[in-house]
């Protein structure tokens, strides 16, 4: 039975994965992400339900649009499969015990899914536009604050430290609004500082933070080496930070320790 549950989790993950590609495309353009139906970016044909089944649609159409035959980027498939895998791994990382789940594990898992959604959107948008989308970050901060309030109410968590992170975030948001007014632009380093504060407020454990830093350095190094070949000089730090954060939370929760 547990295996069926894991397959269900995998499928749920692939649905999230296909939502990410849609949201990463629509949010920066200011388009609606929930109501309007998906369409092919090449021929603009509206996609039917049978075209929107994660993984299976892609495979059955051999990676091409049903209506115009143009190839669909393979990263859609990769993202869907990866998201499915992340959901399966998080089942073990959050120690869910099938079939009797503890309320606490479920709530932590939901908090992680919100963290995962926030980071996937941030990394997707940053990779494309070199910009940390503040709307997405705000979603992450609000959901994380709700989780902290839950821990405070039921687990006697001390909110002092989280309060400091929130104050730092508030100051950074104010600074950003100020710069937007004065210079009519938002500065990337400020966005990165906001993102970092958000990540630290969620991860909140020295062990995982150090692990995250190591992963961050490795990915940055790989990126720089690859960039030498491609001659593209802007490093999407938001992308790398979000990716390392997801990885260090999952690996850390699976029990891996650096020291
Ligand atoms: Zn098409």
Tell me the pLDDT tens digit for each residue of 55-91: 888 888 888 999 998 998 888 889 899 999 999 999 9
- pLDDT of 232 over the 70 cut: no
Distance 64 CA to ligand 1 centre (A): 8
- pLDDT of 102 over the 90 cut: no
Q: What percent of the chain has pLDDT over 70?
A: 98
Q: Global pTM?
A: 0.92
Once rounded to an integer, what is the mean pLDDT over residues 35-54?
Answer: 84
Tell me how many degrees the CA angle 170-175-177 measures, rounded to the nearest 5.
95
- The Cα–Cα gap between 187 and 200 comes to 20
DSSP readout, 46-109? BPPGGG-STTHHHHHTTTB-TTT-PBPPHHHHHHHHHHHHHHHHHHHHTT--TTS--HHHHHHH
Distance 36 CA to ligand 1 centre (A): 17
**Which residues does residue 71 pair with via DSSP β-bridges, in sequence order?**
64
Per-residue pLDDT, 163: 95
Distance 116 CA to ligand 1 centre (A): 30
Per-residue pLDDT, 21: 85
Q: What three-state secondary structure class fits 39?
A: strand
Once rounded to an integer, what is the mean pLDDT over residues 147-153?
Answer: 94
Q: How far is residue 172 from each of residues 8, 140, 146, 163, 255, measured CA to CA in Å?
A: 40, 15, 21, 14, 33
- pLDDT of 127 over the 80 cut: yes
Distance 44 CA to ligand 1 centre (A): 6
Count the neighbouring beta carbons within 10 Å of the beta carbon of residue 164. Answer: 12
pLDDT tier at 97 (50, 70, 90 boundaries)?
confident
Distance 14 CA to ligand 1 centre (A): 21
Distance 63 CA to ligand 1 centre (A): 11
- pLDDT of 229 over the 80 cut: no
Distance 199 CA to ligand 1 centre (A): 38
Which one, of 236, 213, 212, 215, lies nearest residue 224 by Cα? 236
pLDDT tier at 14 (50, 70, 90 boundaries)?
very high
Distance 62 CA to ligand 1 centre (A): 13
Distance 93 CA to ligand 1 centre (A): 39
Per-residue pLDDT, 195: 97
Domain coordinates in residue numbering, the chain: 1-93, 102-259
Distance 114 CA to ligand 1 centre (A): 31
pLDDT tier at 38 (50, 70, 90 boundaries)?
confident
Average pLDDT, the chain: 90
Distance 72 CA to ligand 1 centre (A): 8
Q: Are residues 76 and 40 in contact, defined by beta-carbon separation less than 8 angstroms? A: no
Distance 46 CA to ligand 1 centre (A): 9
Distance 11 CA to ligand 1 centre (A): 25
Distance 68 CA to ligand 1 centre (A): 4
- pLDDT of 196 over the 80 cut: yes
Distance 45 CA to ligand 1 centre (A): 6
């Amino acid at each position: 039975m547990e295996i069926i549950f894991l397959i269900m989790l995998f499928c749920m993950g692939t649905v999230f994965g296909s939502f990410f590609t849609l949201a990463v495309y629509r949010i920066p353009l200011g388009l609606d992400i929930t109501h309007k139906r998906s369409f092919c970016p090449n021929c603009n044909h509206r996609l039917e339900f049978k075209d929107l089944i994660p993984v299976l649609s892609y495979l059955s159409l051999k990676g091409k649009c049903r209506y115009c035959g143009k190839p669909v980027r393979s990263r859609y498939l990769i993202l869907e499969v990866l998201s499915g895998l992340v959901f399966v791994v998080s089942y073990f990382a959050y120690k869910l015990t099938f079939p009797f789940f503890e309320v606490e594990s479920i709530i932590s898992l939901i908090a992680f899914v919100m963290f995962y959604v926030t980071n996937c959107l941030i990394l997707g948008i940053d990779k494309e536009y070199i910009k940390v989308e503040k709307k997405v970050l705000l979603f992450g901060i609000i959901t994380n604050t709700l989780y902290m309030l839950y821990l405070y109410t039921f687990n006697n968590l001390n909110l002092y430290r989280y309060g400091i992170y929130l104050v730092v975030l508030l100051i950074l948001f104010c600074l950003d609004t100020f710069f937007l007014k004065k210079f009519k632009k938002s500065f990337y380093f400020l966005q990165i500082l906001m993102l970092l504060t958000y990540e630290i407020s969620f991860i909140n454990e020295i062990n995982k933070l150090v692990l995250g830093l190591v992963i961050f350095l490795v990915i940055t190094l790989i990126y720089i080496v690859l960039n030498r070949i491609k001659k593209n000089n802007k490093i999407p730090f938001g992308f790398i930070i979000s990716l390392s954060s997801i990885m260090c939370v999952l690996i850390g929760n699976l029990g891996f320790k650096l020291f």
